[in-house]
């Protein structure tokens, strides 16, 4: 065998391996939508936003964790941020909803974990808030904690998440790249019958539309009929809920952050569009699914002081007519974040020997190539 032939054979075998080692959708030349992502293509492209995670993957049956999202690095209780929560399907245990609905603001980090660890996370966030130096006189805290049920792979009844794990996720929070797949609150989750997890993406609006950034982070644990960039992957694989190969029930937590100056009313409108992003991946918001969207404006000019001598608060707010580009950005970023969670997922064995396979990327990429969806 001559040298040229040897090099060709090496490339023939190594290129597919390298291709599959790439863990994000865009790594494979697949672009979702028309708007461009931010530098990191992550929720942390929104200035000042931090994400921290704690992964608990121990023994044969503990597959869970915590993900924390901080809208800014200051004292969030003292400098609250405009917020809204939209309920796509309410079979879930999200904590903190009613006060956000009533007052239109968020006063703690957003925590994601498993269903039975919500009370533990709430207690940890309350302690975290009370222990901050400026909060000595605080006697009420609205902790916002979302969840999905990872009980197929994880010994959820063991309630292995502790307050220290939640605090560690908050302490670990940083700007920069966000780990995806089987990490943090996505450690034991399942999406479309494949290994799901944490996913994230972002979009930056053109300057003429305000130049704002929208970032999305998801915890995927739901079902339906998977579509990737419009290709009916689940149908082609024969792997979808109606085939009874897996239950469509589950949940998806979606966190949408933007630096656009929005009030809670328009943030709720923005949150609704995340459900359109979920539907573009084939999600169906089944009866047993807890699909919640938490939307927050991080614009510094919109922050709400805990105490003020002025009874009137004047804050800039985008007009309704300026919302449409943000709607599109949210839809695109949510769709890509969900797909990123799948592309980053790895085959996992958990509780009672239960095994969930990773998305068969090689087959999926072949389908996308046949459909003309690969840019290279």
What is the tens place of the pLDDT at every residue in 103-157? 999 999 999 999 999 999 999 999 999 999 999 999 999 999 999 999 999 999 9
Rounded Cα–Cα distance for residues 274 and 86 (Å): 9
What is the predicted pLDDT for the residue at 374? 86
What is the predicted pLDDT for the residue at 23? 82
Residues annotated catalytic, as ranges: 251, 289, 291
> Residue 235 is part of which domain span?
33-305+316-370
pLDDT beyond 90 at 312: yes
What is the predicted pLDDT for the residue at 325? 98
- Say if 270 falls within a structural domain: yes
pLDDT class of 250 with cuts at 50, 70, 90: confident
Neighbours of 90 (CB within 10 A): 12
Rounded Cα–Cα distance for residues 253 and 229 (Å): 21
What is the predicted pLDDT for the residue at 13? 41
Task: Work out the average pLDDT over 99-104.
Answer: 98
- Say if 25 falls within a structural domain: no
User: Model confidence over 42-57: pLDDT tens digits?
Assistant: 999 999 999 999 999 9
- CB crowding 134-149: b at 16 or more within 10 Å, else e: ebeeeeebbbbbbbbb
Mean pLDDT of the chain: 93
Task: Work out the average pLDDT over 21-36.
Answer: 89
What is the predicted pLDDT for the residue at 243? 58
Nearest Cα neighbor of 127 from 108, 147, 148, 113 is 108
Task: Work out the average pLDDT over 365-370.
Answer: 96
- Say if 248 falls within a structural domain: yes
Mean pLDDT check: name the lowest of 211-220, 255-264, 283-292. 283-292
Number of domains in the chain: 1
- Say if 124 falls within a structural domain: yes
* CATH number of the domain to which 323 belongs: 3.60.70.12
- Say if 7 falls within a structural domain: no
- Say if 15 falls within a structural domain: no
What is the predicted pLDDT for the residue at 246? 64
- Say if 245 falls within a structural domain: yes
- Say if 70 falls within a structural domain: yes
């Amino acid at each position: 065998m001559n040298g040229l032939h040897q090099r060709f054979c090496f490339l023939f075998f190594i290129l597919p391996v390298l291709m599959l080692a790439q863990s994000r959708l865009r790594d494979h030349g697949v672009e979702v939508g028309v708007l461009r992502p931010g530098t990191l293509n992550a929720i942390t492209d929104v200035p000042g936003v931090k994400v921290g995670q704690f992964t608990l993957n121990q023994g044969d049956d503990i597959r869970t964790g915590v993900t924390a999202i901080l809208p800014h690095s200051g004292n969030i209780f003292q400098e609250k941020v405009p917020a809204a929560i939209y309920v796509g399907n309410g079979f879930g245990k999200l904590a903190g909803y009613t006060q956000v609905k009533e007052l239109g603001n968020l006063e703690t980090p957003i925590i994601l974990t498993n269903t039975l660890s919500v009370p533990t996370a709430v207690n940890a966030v309350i302690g975290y808030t009370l222990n901050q130096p400026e909060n000595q006189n605080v006697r009420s805290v609205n902790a916002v904690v979302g969840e999905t049920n990872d009980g197929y792979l994880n010994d959820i009844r063991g309630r292995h998440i502790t307050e220290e794990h939640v605090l560690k996720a908050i302490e670990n929070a940083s700007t920069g790249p966000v780990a995806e797949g089987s990490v943090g609150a996505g450690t034991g989750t399942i999406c479309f019958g494949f290994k799901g997890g944490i996913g994230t993406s972002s979009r930056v609006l053109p300057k003429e539309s305000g130049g704002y950034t929208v970032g999305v982070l998801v915890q995927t644990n739901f079902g339906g009929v998977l579509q990737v960039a419009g290709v009916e992957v689940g149908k082609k694989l024969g792997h979808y809920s109606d085939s009874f190969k897996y239950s469509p029930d589950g949940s998806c937590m979606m966190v949408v952050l933007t630096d656009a100056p929005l009030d809670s009313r328009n943030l709720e409108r923005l949150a609704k569009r995340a459900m359109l992003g979920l539907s573009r991946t084939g999600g169906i918001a089944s009866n047993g699914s807890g699909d919640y969207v938490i939307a927050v404006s991080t614009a510094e000019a919109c922050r709400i002081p805990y105490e003020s001598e002025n009874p009137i608060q004047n804050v800039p707010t985008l007009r309704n007519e300026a919302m449409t580009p943000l709607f599109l950005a949210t839809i695109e970023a949510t769709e890509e974040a969900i797909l990123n969670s799948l592309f980053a997922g790895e085959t996992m064995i958990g509780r009672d020997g239960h095994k969930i396979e990773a998305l068969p990327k090689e087959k999926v990429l072949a389908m996308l190539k046949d459909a003309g969806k690969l840019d290279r």
